[in-house]
Structure 1
């Protein structure tokens, strides 16, 4: 890969130093969300820092305080912080669960940015807590730098939470060591519908022990319970260290609210006292906005998840929202369907932005797979594919419309990345094998979970001609992290050739499958 060797070595040194600083951020088993009036001393940022939606000249820094505080960010070109630039952020308080974000603008392109977040007493700005350090690299406008990123999803699901004996969320430490430019979280950042028990008996008779907080002992219904699910994940040292060094692109899927939800749904689940999913989704969206470094979201739950992130001449990342605009889950056999999983407005936006993109590669970050049949109960379908290999029906009609647009506008370099199904696989879609033929061949790659139950592979739907050259999945449902089957993917785009190398990886540093894609080619 044609990266500047000095830059890479310099960044590795940064990562080592920041890792040591971040490792010092230790939290108790149960992090208090105590009211500010019950606390003494100086403001504390025990939940670490995050950076998101980084561009050539900007980034969004996130922090959480343990009490009302003024957020201050200092940036510098070196770890010594000589002549730092200071950014005054918001006063964080109970209205946002003491979280805050500060936009850094006017940063130099392709540069390593060192930053530290200070939390100051609003009544006495001289009283600040210990700074929390991080680093990130702004996007380079020069092609030769190349791009490397990792992606996955599904964290703390199916009863598998933070187990210190297992190394906690140890897969994040492995991904950090791969030195990515950013992490694409493909959804299921939390499992709001997944309570945790203190212990789980494993098939071999041993015991998996979870760290448990009060909010994680039941399904999330109140705003505070949704917030608590996000705070729970930040108890993990490896995740906080990862966040301090790797920018994130966040999207959501179903478990930020509850399994397989759709707008307008009314629950029959006895665990819930609030049956209106729209009410739950509004609370979940607010918590997601508060705990994610996403510029298009605001803590009042307005704004949108779908957006495009531009990473120089080589890459544009199109982040989709397959939850907030979808139609109701059904058998998916309708001969007409305009809503699909994206809704009409988001589909029009995606077509328009894909047509405008001049990047070599257009990664479509979709929180649901396309050709895998994902069921919802015994008759309904959760995803796009519905198991009928014939002409498009139901939500497949919207996908057919999009794929036709990509072909007719001669948009090249589209690659789909997703998680959701809790195993890893590669699918190649080709009209020569398909019932619907008016599209250009493309690839879809699936990865995950990060730390959750793994599940057997799903069947393929032949409507768009998928072929699966690789899949790794367990033979039974809800296989826990102690037995393996925890996955992430890596994408490496070479600055000289423009080639994209996709690797499907398993926790333990094993590369399971590699595919090299050449720019501008159709049907590869």
Structure 2
């Protein structure tokens, strides 16, 4: 038995550790052999199906969760759940057949679960032609959301993994941040995008400023920018070579969104690339392939491998919390200087913007976390003249994409929607911004907070400037003074959110990997703005 720090909750991890050990075989392979984990040609395999990429659970609610696995060959997915790690009387869930059409990945929906319960599960892969031939089970566990307030909620969030050429470094122990977050034993992990860097090849070595060498585990698919479906799939498989991430996935369920680097840097629909590294220049073609790979490698119930379904959604985590997951990529307009006085499409698109306002009005949760894959008031540029995010640097009245965000903020104020907090990543440093109409050019909104964190394992960058349109004040920021600082030098960040069940207080902690809490802010429930 183990106790998660600050939680007072106990978790039996024996089953998780058994599963993690079984799934760690890939990391024990020499680097040259890792490329063999990419494809799964059935005719070249013998023995029983193997799930060497671990397990994941996504979008957990009070009564449901979505379990993911990948096989090394065609197999039937079967999930067994139990209230204990001994699996004395398991409940059995028959999953899909896993085959090449989904890169041998699959998900199984678990429904009718007890609220606020620790669910132990194991995934079995069986031979489609002989169900008695099964591989070693892979174990995991997760907590369903509570039906009441007493237990409270605690989660972590961050983004940006394997960026700028900084991949899995065995000398540093791989992706150390996931082991640190796992030890906190959160209820779930909110990943704010840039889960992979499909446009960022991983070289075997990188020279560091101090004369030492950074070593990466490498694979064939990560040796170039991703263009084909198989290359995009290989980007998602790459991260799962890390034992820390697999152990984390086996214990902590996720809520995942995407941003630009799942496809290509700063992309928008309809874009035609000029990057000479790409033979396929049409971003819409690349995005469709990336979306399919994303849907295969993450358990997102609203997203399917075809063009139907959507990334944006609300995940309800009991009476204390609703998480509104935005998609600021799929429906945006083209990047531009952002000075147009009218902008109906904006960064969300009209349909998503209407959905967000409607669902915020319907929410009865104490806290409404708006998971934004890009920050609101930080000026993120795309080239010398265009802007990539929302803010464009003009501190006056809203223009361009700011107009759409202003409408959302106005809606929150006029409908007296309480408890909204914006969480994001993207900029590769950590900061806290408080927005107040008393300081703003646009004043028809209630005060709110935005918290920024990341990267998980990528280059870190200097802070960008604030845009005054929504009146931001920045009580905390930590960033390096130069670009693309490697994870070996620190500046790797994640955030923690804890909601107390008795008082309803929401506490945000901005954390640095290996360095503890950098900044702490306590917010009170039931207020329109604070």
TM interval, shorter chain, is: over 0.9
The residue number in structure 1 matching 2:383 is: 377
Shift of 1:300: 2.6
Shift of 1:32: 3.7
The residue number in structure 2 matching 1:508 is: 514
Instruction: Please provide the CA RMSD for this pair.
Output: 1.5
Of 295, 306, 311, which aligns to 2:301? 295
The answer to whether the 8 Å contact 1:391/1:463 transfers is: yes
Of 1, 13, 16, which aligns to 1:15? 13
The residue number in structure 2 matching 1:246 is: 252
Q: Does 1:46 align with 2:52?
A: yes
Shift of 1:9: 4.6
The answer to whether the 8 Å contact 2:374/2:389 transfers is: yes
Alpha-carbon distance in structure 1 between the residues aligned to 2:480 and 2:425: 16
Alpha-carbon distance in structure 2 between the residues aligned to 1:408 and 1:523: 12
Matched residue SS, 1:367:
coil
Of 56, 67, 92, which aligns to 2:62? 56
Alpha-carbon distance in structure 2 between the residues aligned to 1:107 and 1:484: 40
Alpha-carbon distance in structure 1 between the residues aligned to 2:304 and 2:342: 35
User: Superposed, which structure 2 residues align to 1:19-418 within 5 Å?
Assistant: 19-26=17-24, 27=26, 28=29, 29=31, 30=34, 31-418=37-424
Matched residue SS, 2:251:
coil
Alpha-carbon distance in structure 1 between the residues aligned to 2:130 and 2:447: 61
The more displaced of 14-23 and 416-425 is: 14-23
The answer to whether the 8 Å contact 1:190/1:229 transfers is: yes
Shift of 1:489: 0.1
The residue number in structure 2 matching 1:499 is: 505
The residue number in structure 1 matching 2:475 is: 469
Shift of 1:36: 1.3
Alpha-carbon distance in structure 1 between the residues aligned to 2:524 and 2:244: 34
The answer to whether the 8 Å contact 2:49/2:126 transfers is: yes
Matched residue SS, 2:10:
helix
Q: Deviations over 1:25-72 (max 9, x none)?
A: 220341242311110000000000000011111100000000000000
Alpha-carbon distance in structure 2 between the residues aligned to 1:356 and 1:387: 33
Shift of 1:23: 3.2
Q: Deviations over 1:120-144 (max 9, x none)?
A: 0000000000000000011110101
Shift of 1:167: 1.0
The answer to whether the 8 Å contact 2:178/2:244 transfers is: yes
Alpha-carbon distance in structure 1 between the residues aligned to 2:529 and 2:143: 34
Q: Deviations over 1:209-252 (max 9, x none)?
A: 00000000000000000000000000000000000000000100
The more displaced of 506-515 and 41-50 is: 506-515
Gaps of 5+ in 1: none
Shift of 1:4: 12
Alpha-carbon distance in structure 1 between the residues aligned to 2:40 and 2:14: 33
The answer to whether the 8 Å contact 1:158/1:478 transfers is: yes
Shift of 1:16: 5.5
Alpha-carbon distance in structure 2 between the residues aligned to 1:518 and 1:501: 9
Shift of 1:254: 0.3
Alpha-carbon distance in structure 1 between the residues aligned to 2:279 and 2:308: 25
The answer to whether the 8 Å contact 2:201/2:223 transfers is: yes
Alpha-carbon distance in structure 1 between the residues aligned to 2:75 and 2:144: 27
Matched residue SS, 1:74:
strand
The answer to whether the 8 Å contact 2:269/2:331 transfers is: yes
Alpha-carbon distance in structure 2 between the residues aligned to 1:442 and 1:383: 19
The answer to whether the 8 Å contact 1:289/1:301 transfers is: no
Q: Deviations over 1:9-29 (max 9, x none)?
A: 531xx2365235413422034
Alpha-carbon distance in structure 1 between the residues aligned to 2:224 and 2:194: 17
The more displaced of 277-286 and 292-301 is: 292-301
Alpha-carbon distance in structure 1 between the residues aligned to 2:392 and 2:432: 19
Alpha-carbon distance in structure 1 between the residues aligned to 2:336 and 2:234: 32
Q: How many positions carry a matched residue from both structures?
A: 520
The residue number in structure 2 matching 1:420 is: 426
The residue number in structure 2 matching 1:430 is: 436
The answer to whether the 8 Å contact 1:265/1:277 transfers is: yes
